[in-house]
Amino acid sequence: MALEHLFQGSALNAVDAKGRVSIPAFLRSVVERRGDARTIVLAKHETFPALSAYDPAYAALKHAKLERLLEKEETSPDAELEYQQRNLMAFGASEEVPYDGSGRIVMPPMMRRKGGIEDLALFLGAGETFQIWNPSLFLQDARVPEDLKDIARYRLEERGLGA
């Protein structure tokens, strides 16, 4: 299945009082090459205190994958319930947000809270998806490799918000 265009790279952008953030141009270009939507889908990351983001086309793919899984194990009643739960998580607990001409989204308040996002948003490419972090949480998390934290530190310094 593998979508050919992958999200990669990092950036640190400001979140204004209204919750607006610019999606870095290099991530937007991937979204637009994968499909022609000018929207991204936001969801709480499964394991990290951060947000996971992707394009609508990837969401459809994810759905198809779940459906195939269900049909294969249709016999079990447990499988049915688990499917319902995962499907609801994937679509009920996510939001599709459009970005405007200058590439900005308004981060929905609920997502902002779930992702712990404050006034800075750290963008990290992750292949088929990308992540949005509160840089402080990123630096605090023990599971994040030191090399990656260096990147975050660099981005902070770049803005004169070092250490």
Partner DNA sequence: CGAAATGGCATGAAAATCCATTGTATCCCG
Partner DNA sequence: CGGGATACAATGGATTTTCATGCCATTTCG
Q: Given the complex with DNA, which of 66 and 106 has the nearer CB atom?
A: 106
Q: Which does 101 bind (CB under 5 to 8 A by kind): its own copies, DNA, none?
A: DNA
Q: How far apart are CA 30 and CA 56, in angstroms?
A: 12
What is the spatial order of strands in the sheet that 51-54 belongs to?
10-14, 120-126, 129-133, 51-54, 39-44, 94-98
Which residues partner with 131 through β-bridges? 52, 124
**Nearest-approach distance from CB 82 to its own copies, in angstroms:** 10
**Which residue's entry shows tokens 């972090």?**
133
Pairing type for strands 120-126 and 129-133 reads antiparallel
**Nearest-approach distance from CB 97 to its own copies, in angstroms:** 9
**Nearest-approach distance from CB 72 to DNA, in angstroms:** 37
Where does this chain bind its own copies (CB under 8 A)? 2, 4, 6-10, 26, 41, 44, 47-48, 56, 59-60, 63-64, 66-67, 80-81, 84-85, 87-96, 109-110, 113-114, 124-128, 131, 143-145, 147-148, 150-151, 154-155, 158
Q: Which does 126 bind (CB under 5 to 8 A by kind): its own copies, DNA, none?
A: its own copies
Q: Which does 161 bind (CB under 5 to 8 A by kind): DNA, its own copies, none?
A: none
Q: Given the complex with DNA, which of 21 and 53 has the nearer CB atom?
A: 21
Where does this chain bind DNA (CB under 7 A)? 11, 13-14, 16-18, 21-26, 28-29, 97-98, 100-104, 106
CB burial of 119-151 (b: ≥16 within 10 Å; e: otherwise) equals ebbbbbbeebbbbbbbbebbbeeeebeeeeeeb
Q: How far apart are CA 125 and CA 132, in angstroms?
A: 9
Q: Which does 18 bind (CB under 5 to 8 A by kind): DNA, its own copies, none?
A: DNA
